[in-house]
Amino acid sequence: MKRTTLPQMDEILGKEFPCLNHGFVRLIDYMGSDEAIVQAARVSYGKGTKQVSQDRGLIRYLMRHHHTSPFEMVEFKFHCKLPIFVARQWIRHRTASVNEYSLRYSEAVKEFYIPDSDVIRLQSQTNRQGRSEDSVPPEKQKKVLQILEKHNQQAWSDYQEMEQSGLARELARIHLPVSLYTEWYWKIDLHNLMHFLRLRLDPTAQYEIRVYADIIAEITKAAVPISWEAFEDYILFSKTFSKLEFEVLKKALEKLEEQPDWQKLGEEAGLSKRESTEFIDKLKS
């Protein structure tokens, strides 16, 4: 059996998609497509569907009922260049294979992340781990950039001095700032990639990692458009209710003088007949 290839993916293999001031994302390799997900789901009786509409219905069913292993059959391998502080957030997603550029074996490259002025913000008063949307006065922006540049230059000068003196690279590197760029190969399956994207595309995620997530999202969408549509509908843009919240919702609906035609509303929204039925069952549960 020949390996499945996708023309739109082969066209971008190895292409650098710029990120921040020195970074990039490159797709190195991929395995599988929407078809691979369908094949995996139907392996119990060895048949695949012949119509795209049937494949779409099955993939959407798998997504909304949280079947994970069929989506793990699709994999992507990326080459990423990113600031160390972004890498430290990224690596929290542990269900991937990673091999990173080593400063024990190799010399550092003089490339540091410096934010654009328009993304320099004050600390948010409502989100302890994020920045606010309030603009910083130009004079403060300038001061921040001066501090960052000065620190980077001093750190690099010290690094070179220690390395040229014969100090071991594993020691010379330890004071370099987390704004320094690193590189890695990152291989991950589609299920875990969607989890990564659900968190890192969120508006509350740090801007710098969202830049990378945005590009990876576009690459993923091109590879598995049907799965991506289902991901957007059932995970990325979906909302959940707690038990208590759902009780409030049900009580509010019960007080309506005239019950809506849920089936019709579902169809108008683009739900299939089966999806509409499941939606109504949720409201009645």
pLDDT in tens, 117-128: 999 998 888 777
Q: What is the mean pLDDT of residues 222-232?
A: 98
Q: What is the mean pLDDT of residues 44-61?
A: 73
Same structural domain for residues 73 and 17? yes
Could you tell me the residue range of the domain that residue 259 belongs to? Answer: 243-284
Q: What is the mean pLDDT of residues 231-239?
A: 95
**What's the gap between Cα 148 and its chain centre?**
28
Task: Indicate if 200 belongs to the active site.
Answer: yes
pTM of the model: 0.91
Output the domain CATH number for residue 31: 3.30.1360.170
Same structural domain for residues 268 and 148? no
CB atoms within 10 A of CB 92: 8
Q: Which amino acid is at 201?
A: L
pLDDT tier at 48, thresholds 50, 70, 90: low
Same structural domain for residues 96 and 15? yes
Same structural domain for residues 102 and 196? yes
Catalytic pick among 42, 200, 210, 274: 200
- How many domains does the chain contain in total? 3
Same structural domain for residues 210 and 250? no
CA–CA gap between residue 275 and residue 285 (Å, rounded): 15
pLDDT tier at 249, thresholds 50, 70, 90: confident
- Asked if the model's pLDDT at residue 268 lies above 90, the reply is no
pLDDT of residue 207: 96
CA–CA gap between residue 169 and residue 200 (Å, rounded): 33
